[in-house]
Chain A
Amino acid sequence: MSALAHVGSASAAPTPGAADETAKRGRFLPYLLLLPGGLWLIIFFVVPLVQLFTVSLQSRFPEYPGYYYRDVNVKNYWSALTEFAPHFGRSLLFAGLATFFAFCLAYPLAYAMAFKAGRWRGLMMICVIAPFFTSFILRTIAWRQILADEGPIARIANALHLLPNGHITETWIAVVAGLTYNFLPFMVLPIYASLERADPRVIEAGGDLYANGFTTFRTVTLPMSMPGVLAGTLLTFIPAAGDYVNAELLGSDRSTKMVGNVIESQFFKVPDGYPTAAALSFTLMALILGMVFLYARKFGTEDLL
């Protein structure tokens, strides 16, 4: 911001009065430029958030179902958390697994795109992005077919007696697979960007200084791509933890439900569910914020925070 102000005053006109004028304008210009974005954030983020928070503390009129009054009812949080603790656990676990698998798939892919693809790079990039052109829901439904009992994957797995109850759909495996698939591009792109930006000479320097291929990867390439890995894991984990579509379409009725599903059903299906849903949303947000903060503190670089 000060840099901007500086530019403004540096281009000041020669007369002292005009210079003052320009300097003043220069000081306000950055704030002026921040205004649209700031307004947007306030209207569409801060206001609903405050609204949601008040809802999460409301109490119900016992005699009038569907009517609430303003209150500071912390019990909402307590009951929501005790009742839906397993769903929180599942959300974090599934999101964590999906992030892990996405990382395992994305890193080699991003590496190949950045260093080995040559003229195929553009095509690979399109393949990574192309799924975005169709609906998220549609693609998830397609996975139901891919993983269906009559599908090739389930058949092979069954032939090898890998599935205890004979299905992939309706199990956590399908949910994690769906999450992994859906958020894979968010892992690939930042890692690719950070590898692409890495100076190939620096990687060569590793080899020049007696590090073999694997050691160079471990001590040079991977650390240099850490900002991308960090961004990718956050971009995968955060939406995956709040997701409910995958659990809805690929999971079973009970054992694979995530917090997102609970929030959705509390909002839309359960009478009097608003405060619970709001309390769950808020807790999830706080939880994710806290985890992201710790994670970034531990692995983060100046580039990110």
Chain B
Amino acid sequence: MAKGGFREAKGDLRIEDVTKSFGDFTAVDDLTLVVPRGSFFALLGPSGCGKTTTLRMVAGLEQPTRGRILIGDTDLTGSRPYERPVNTVFQSYALFPHLTVRDNVAFGPKRRGEKDAQRLADEALNLVQLPHLASRKPTQLSGGQQQRVAVARALVNRPEVLLLDEPLGALDLKLRRQMQVELKRIQTEVGLTFIHVTHDQEEAMTMADTVAVMNLGRIEQMGPPAQMYDLPSTAFVANFVGQSNLGQGRITGRDGDFVVVDVNGSTVKIPSARCAVTSGEVLFGIRPEKVHLARSSDIDAAIRDRKVAFGDDMRATVLDVSFIGVATQYLVRVPSGATWSVYEQNLDVDPIDLKPGDPVWLEWDPAHAFGVAADGTPIPGITPAPGQDAP
């Protein structure tokens, strides 16, 4: 099957101490990563953080400035793209404009000397639900259709490692969900290694075995999706993966398994095991759905009791109420001046009686709190916007 310099390599994808510099700009900074064979690895990160550059180095389209890239025990560093058992779904699709959709998809199999390249191409086109457009040229397709052709063109080769650079970004929600299911099915059935770059967190969370969050050319945190969400290890991840309510505070002591933190006069607790710092400055964090709202009118009676029974609390003022169907989102201002959000599930049909300006109490189970290092990175929502000081 192999032709030319094609290298048969099987095993885990290993990226070892890889750095990529463009002039004096470092796009990928000393990256080390092992993606086990047959796993689905999602790469999240803000625009320009080096995701595409990382994929390009794995594909061989860019050579690392330092470091090695291996699949199994085969060192692929320095080899040409066509020698690698790796295919890419390009962020810009990069379809061949002079070939029909079918010939685009059959391109890879043909180069590898497959005899029934056309049949394979048709199968792949079925998979992305485009068999009826097989004889069109790429310019005659919509953006989402082009994207699916790009997916089919890479997938048809069943490579050892498939690199997907935002492969579903141009699709509507329904089609995207369908394609996610298809991709996941193929990945598990054939046992391919997928590296999937996406801006859709939900996509990363639902599809991936492992999620990595990249920032400024480095991996900030990596782990199973639930763990990433439950316990972010840096302020960046806390904000990038889902939403977090954060408060700048200072560790004042210990209380059993908890560290005690003072956040602008409110005393809150973080489980020691969930706090990345042991003393000094800390960023206290809690997810919006873990916070509950209590009417300020029955503070004296109810809250005091609950405080003992339930957990920590903090006084706040309602800024905005938005009804989202299954839940209601409240934006509240906490004493530090930061804006927090709170999700209350609409379990009852009670009318929402809170309105902007109402005083409320926030309460949460301290076991859900987490603490990350206050590393000075600007945190959205924590610095009060000018002219919006708390009353």
A and B pair up:
yes
Which single member of B80, B112, B154 contacts A207 (CB below 8 Å)?
A: B80
Report if A105 contacts B (CB, 8 A): no
A201 touches B90 (CB 8 A): yes
A201 touches B108 (CB 8 A): no
Report if B46 contacts A (CB, 8 A): no
Smallest CB-CB separation from B2: which chain A residue? A210
**Known contacts A215-B111, A224-B98; is-contact A205 B90 (Cβ 8 Å):** yes
B5 touches A212 (CB 8 A): yes
B59 touches A208 (CB 8 A): yes
**Known contacts A204-B81, A207-B81; is-contact A223 B88 (Cβ 8 Å):** no
B82 touches A204 (CB 8 A): no
B5 touches A220 (CB 8 A): no
For the complex, what is the distance from the CA of A215 to the CA of B88, rounded to whole Å?
A: 18
B240 surroundings in chain A (CB, below 8 A): none
Report if A202 contacts B (CB, 8 A): yes
- DSSP class of B's interface residues: helix, strand, loop or mixed? loop
- DSSP class of A's interface residues: helix, strand, loop or mixed? helix
A210 touches B96 (CB 8 A): no
B87 touches A208 (CB 8 A): yes
A202 surroundings in chain B (CB, below 8 A): 94-97
The tally of residues in A whose CB lies under 8 Å from a CB in B reads: 21
A210 touches B3 (CB 8 A): yes
**Known contacts A204-B61, A205-B88, A215-B111; is-contact A210 B94 (Cβ 8 Å):** no
A219 surroundings in chain B (CB, below 8 A): 107
Residue from A212, A220, A224 having most chain B Cβ neighbours under 10 A = A212
Report if A209 contacts B (CB, 8 A): yes
Report if A211 contacts B (CB, 8 A): yes
Considering only residues 282-304 of chain A, those with a C-beta below 8 Å from chain B are 301
B6 touches A210 (CB 8 A): yes
B36 to chain A, nearest CB (A): 23
A223 surroundings in chain B (CB, below 8 A): 96, 98-99
28 sample A-B contacts, Cβ–Cβ < 8 Å, listed by A number: A199-B94, A202-B95, A202-B96, A205-B88, A205-B95, A206-B96, A207-B61, A208-B60, A208-B61, A208-B81, A208-B82, A208-B87, A208-B88, A209-B82, A209-B107, A209-B108, A209-B111, A209-B153, A209-B157, A210-B3, A210-B157, A211-B107, A212-B4, A212-B5, A213-B80, A216-B82, A219-B107, A301-B98
Taking A199-B94, A209-B157, A211-B82 as known contacts, 11 extra A-B pairs with beta carbons closer than 8 A to each other, sorted by chain A number, are A199-B92, A201-B90, A205-B88, A208-B61, A208-B81, A208-B87, A208-B88, A210-B111, A215-B111, A216-B82, A223-B99
Chain B positions near chain A (C-beta within 8 angstroms)? 3-6, 59-61, 80-82, 86-88, 90, 92, 94-99, 107-108, 111-112, 153-154, 157
- Can you list the 3 inter-chain pairs with the closest CB atoms, starting with the nearest? A209-B108, A210-B111, A201-B94
